[in-house]
Structure 1
Amino acid sequence: MRSSIKEDIQSSTAELVYGTTLRLPGEFFVEAKNTKPSHEFITDLRKVMAHIRPVPTSDHSKPSTFVQKELATCSHVFVRIDTVRPPLSHPFDGPYRVLRRRKKVFVVDINGKSSPISIDRLKAAFIHRDNVDGTAPATNTRGTTSTIADRPVYQTRSGRRVHIPRQY
């Protein structure tokens, strides 16, 4: 509409606004001359259309979830908390001991109760062999676990207790 010429002003609105005419999509392509007769064009078109096969479609209705391969062998798991949480809170709770595994559900020992939890909410916990006996592991900022009793405790001159991480 902006490139159509108005009879009363002998100009288009695009020329008034931009100072030049607009380039329309039809002007981008050079018109090709059809050199084939129409009956040859129709037979070629029928041959091409006979070889066209439908492309298989993808199914986007079922969302795929990521499942760790370590879940099949791990002894402890973290459970994702699916409630509304305050900012900067932990998304996972645990680690909890795995009692039984099924195809889609793990039975996990949470505070002495066996709870069935979907594997979509689970993440494998990697625990040191010395912590498997049931002592509660403490998680440090790097995501690895160690027991609190393993870390050395130092006391400053002012009497403050300092826990030095194991890697230092």
Structure 2
Amino acid sequence: MVFGEALVVPGEFFLSPNTAIDDNNLTILWHTVGKYQPCVQTHKTSPPRYFPKSLIASKYVFVKYDTYKPPLARPYQGPYAILERNSKAFRVSISGGSDWVSIDCLKPAYLEEEDSTPTSPHVDDPTSSSHHLGARPPAPSPKDGLRPTSSRTGQLIRQPDLLDL
């Protein structure tokens, strides 16, 4: 075959006008072809996605936006309050408005529950413990006359033991 030449098909692919078509051969061909059936189509479902069970009961969520973020940027924004729930999306209160967000972009927010009664210790109450931020643990008792010192962050600094030579 050369580019620009006419396409030539061999004559053996065509029946000559003198060949008679036998009805017997035609019925055999028809039955043979009739035995073939199309393949059963398989419906491939997508694998189930991960869905945190605590998302159903949570009051607040974090939202992940699929945009470019600079390095060390937070992947989730929020927490935002949930207004309404659906099987595929939640209505979330975002900056004064509300918006439907897909559950694929949500992560449950675990926030501390605030009590209605104050639990802060009083300064003049001698029985209250001082387990709040900034309180240093009591210094251990000195042994063998060495006094342990502490750093500016409150960590204890051990003095090295003297070598007996």
TM bracket (short chain): 0.3 to 0.5
Point out the structure with the larger helix share: 1
Write 1 or 2 for the structure with the bigger share of strand.
Answer: 1
- Normalising by structure 1, we get a TM-score of 0.42
TM-score between the two structures when normalised by the length of structure 2: 0.43
Q: Which has the higher contact order (CA 8 A, sep 6+)?
A: 2
